[in-house]
A and B are shown apart, each in its own frame.
Chain A
Amino acid sequence: MRKVVIAQTCVVTPVGSDLASTFQSFLNNRCGIKKNFRFETKNYKSSYAALIKKVEMPDSRSSFLNLTDLIINQLDNIPKDCVLLTATTQGCADLFAKNQKKQCLINRYLIPSNIPKYVAKKLNLKNSGVNINSACASPTIAIIKGTQMIENNRAECVLIFCADIVSEFVFSGFSALNALSSSPTRPFDIDRQGLSLGDGGAAILLMDEKLAKKQCIAINTLIAGYGIASDATHITAPARDGRGLIIAINNALKTARITPGHIGAINTHGTGTIYNDSMEIAAFKKVFKDLKVPGNSFKGAIGHTLGGAGGIEAAIGTLMLKERILPGTHGFLNPEPGAENLISPENVPFFKRYLLSTNSGFAGTNAALILERMENQ
Chain B
Amino acid sequence: MSYYISGIGFVTPEISGCGRDFKEFNPKPGKLPLISRKDVLDKPYKPFGRMDFFSKIGFAGTCFAYKDAGLIKADQIENSETCDTAIIVSTFLRCLDTDNHYFETVKLQNGKNASPALFAYALPNAFLGEASIYLKTTGQCFAINEDNSNGITILKMAFDILNSKESEIVICGICDTNVPGFMQSVLNNSNNDFAGSLFFTLSQKEQKLNYGKIKEDENGTIFFNDKSIKDLLDLAHMCMESKKIKDELNL
Contacts and interface: CB of A to CB of B under 8 A. Distances in A.
Are chains A and B native binding partners rather than an unrelated pairing?
yes
Interface stretch (A199-207, A324-332, A344-352, A358-366): A358-366
B116 A362 contact: no
Interface string A106-150: 111011111111000000000010111111011001000100110
Interface stretch (A73-81, A213-221, A226-234): A226-234
A177 B123 CA distance: 15
A90 B94 CA distance: 10
A134 B166 contact: no
A111 B96 contact: yes
A374 B102 CA distance: 47
Interface in B104-120: 106-107, 109-112, 114-116, 119-120
Contacts of B126: 235, 362-363
A100 interface: yes
B100 A177 contact: no
B146 A100 contact: no
A128 B130 CA distance: 30
**Residue of B111, B133, B166 with most partner-chain A CB within 10 A:** B111
B136 interface: yes
Contacts of B187: 111
Contacts of A244: 138
B250 interface: no
A138 B160 CA distance: 17
A246 B160 CA distance: 22
B124 interface: yes
A192 interface: no
Interface in B165-191: 166, 182-183, 185-187
Given A132-B144, A145-B157, A176-B114, A111 B92 contact: yes
A365 B142 contact: yes
A112 B145 contact: yes
Contacts of B137: 230, 232
A275 interface: no
Nearest to A365: B141
B61 interface: no
B146 A113 contact: yes
A113 B141 contact: no
A137 B135 CA distance: 21
B140 interface: yes
A22 to B, nearest CB: 27
A43 B183 contact: no
A178 B120 CA distance: 12
Interface residues of A, number: 66
B145 A130 contact: yes
Contacts of A153: 218
Contacts of A130: 90, 144-146, 153
Contact of B96 (A110, A132, A362): A110
A235 B99 contact: no
A188 interface: no
Contact of A247 (B90, B92, B129, B138): B138
Nearest to B117: A176
Contact of A364 (B103, B109, B114, B141): B141
A90 B185 CA distance: 21
Contacts of B141: 134, 228, 230, 363-365
How many chain B residues sit at the interface, stated as a range, is 35 or more
Contacts of A89: 123
A133 B82 contact: no
Contact of A232 (B91, B107, B138): B138
A18 B183 CA distance: 36
Given A229-B138, A235-B130, A173 B145 contact: no
A168 interface: yes
A167 to B, nearest CB: 10
B138 A134 contact: no
A232 B133 contact: yes
A268 interface: no
Contacts of A105: 185
Given A152-B160, A169-B103, A176-B119, A133 B147 contact: no
B79 interface: no
A236 interface: yes
B195 to A, nearest CB: 15
B120 A362 contact: yes
Contacts of A365: 125, 128-129, 141-142
A362 B186 contact: no
A134 B143 CA distance: 6
A113 B192 CA distance: 11
Contacts of A148: 157, 160, 164
A149 B153 CA distance: 11
B133 A106 contact: no
A175 B105 CA distance: 13
A154 B114 contact: no
B100 A96 contact: yes
Given A148-B164, A230-B140, 6 more contacts: A40-B110, A133-B145, A145-B160, A172-B114, A177-B119, A363-B128
7 contacts: A113-B145, A172-B111, A173-B114, A177-B116, A177-B120, A362-B125, A363-B130
- Complex A-B, nearest 7 residue pairs according to Cβ-Cβ distance, in ascending order: A363-B129, A173-B119, A112-B145, A134-B142, A176-B116, A131-B145, A176-B114
Interface of A: 40, 42-44, 89-90, 93, 96-97, 100, 105-108, 110-117, 128, 130-135, 137-138, 141, 145, 148-149, 152-154, 168-169, 172-178, 227-236, 243-244, 247, 251, 255, 362-365
